[in-house]
Amino acid sequence: MEYPGNLFVVAAPSGAGKSSLVKALLELDSKLDVSISHTSRAPRGQEQNGREYWFITADEFRAKVAHGDFFEWAEVHGNLYGTSRAAIEARMAHGDDVVLEIDFQGALQIKQLFPYAVLIFILPPSWDELKQRLNRRGDTEPAVIETRMANARVEVAQAQNFDFVVVNAVFDTAVFDLKSIVHAQRLKYAAQRRNRSAVFRALDLP
C-alpha cells in the first residue's frame, strides 16, 4: 500500500517515556498527527473516549477484527489494542504524516503492510533507570512493576528489528533525535516522490 504521507511507528517498553516524547514531537510538528487506537481496556484516570483511545468492549473489538477494520492489532498486557484503517488511511492519503504509538508486535505487522513505514524504538538508558521511572510513577504495584520489567526484556530484544533507536536518557536530546528522524525521512527520494509527485512529474523524474 502506498500513500503520499509518511508513517512513523514508535514502540518502547512501559516507562521508557514514549508517550511524553511523542507528545513533545507533535507539539513541534504541525504536519504530524497521532493515530487514536481502539482498545478493550477500561479508561484510566482522566482518559477520554476518542482522545487517548477509542474504548470498546472485547466483543466489539473482535467484531472489528472479523470485519477487517484493523491494519494491525495485538494483545498487550492482557488487553486488545488495534490501529483502525479509518484512523490513518484518510490522513496519509491526504499527504499528512501519521505517528503510531503502538507495541512492537503491531509495529512489525505495520512494516509488513507498509514497507516504507519508519520504525523507531525508544530505549531507556539502563534497566535500573527503567525500574526507577516505573517506581516514580507511583501508580503501579510492586508485582506489576516486576511484570513490566520482565516484559521490558522481551520488548527491548525487538529493538534490533527497528530502523532507528533513540535512547531516552536526556528528554530534550531524545525529542531532538525523534525530530531529526522525522525530518530526514521526509527528505528521502521515495518520500519526496510520494509527497511531491507534481514536482517530480514536472521535472520528468521517475
- Round to whole Å and give the CA distance between 196 and 5: 10
User: b/e map of 103-114 (b: 16 or more CB within 10 Å)?
Assistant: bbbbbbbbbeeb
Relative to beta strand 37-39, strand 79-84 is antiparallel
CB of 96 to ligand 5GP, least distance (A): 18
| Residue position matching grid coordinates 512513523 | 8
Query: With binding defined as CB under 6 A, does residue 103 bind ligand 5GP?
Result: yes
Q: Considering only residues 105, 140, 158, 192, which one is a binding residue for ligand 5GP as defined by CB under 6 A?
A: 105
Could you tell me where the beta strands, DSSP code E, fall in the chain? 7-11, 32-34, 37-39, 53-55, 70-76, 79-84, 97-101, 118-123, 164-167
Query: With binding defined as CB under 6 A, does residue 22 bind ligand 5GP?
Result: no
Query: With binding defined as CB under 6 A, does residue 195 bind ligand 5GP?
Result: no
Q: Considering only residues 21, 74, 88, 119, which one is a binding residue for ligand 5GP as defined by CB under 6 A?
A: 74
CB of 14 to ligand 5GP, least distance (A): 6
Query: With binding defined as CB under 6 A, does residue 37 bind ligand 5GP?
Result: yes
CB of 37 to ligand 5GP, least distance (A): 3
Q: Considering only residues 3, 8, 15, 101, which one is a binding residue for ligand 5GP as defined by CB under 6 A?
A: 101
How does DSSP classify residue 44?
-
* Residue nearest ligand 5GP, CB atom distance: 106
Q: What are the residues whose beta carbons fall under 8 Å from the beta carbon of 187, sequence distance 6 or more? A: none
Query: With binding defined as CB under 6 A, does residue 8 bind ligand 5GP?
Result: no
CB of 9 to ligand 5GP, least distance (A): 10
Q: Taking contact as CB under 6 A, which single stretch among the options 75-83, 128-136, 145-153, 193-201 is the one that binds ligand 5GP?
A: 75-83
- Round to whole Å and give the CA distance between 53 and 56: 9
Classify burial at 44, counting beta carbons within 10 Å of its beta carbon; exposed 0-12, middle 13-18, buried 19 or more.
exposed
Virtual CA dihedral for 86, 10, 22, 184, nearest 10 degrees? Answer: -100
Site for ligand 5GP, residues 113 to 172, rule: CB under 6 A:
none
Is the CB of residue 124 less than 8 Å from the CB of residue 45?
A: no
Q: Taking contact as CB under 6 A, which single stretch among the options 69-77, 126-134, 158-166, 196-204 is the one that binds ligand 5GP?
A: 69-77
Where do contacts with ligand 5GP occur on this chain (CB under 6 A)?
A: 37, 41, 72, 74, 76-77, 81-83, 101-103, 105-106
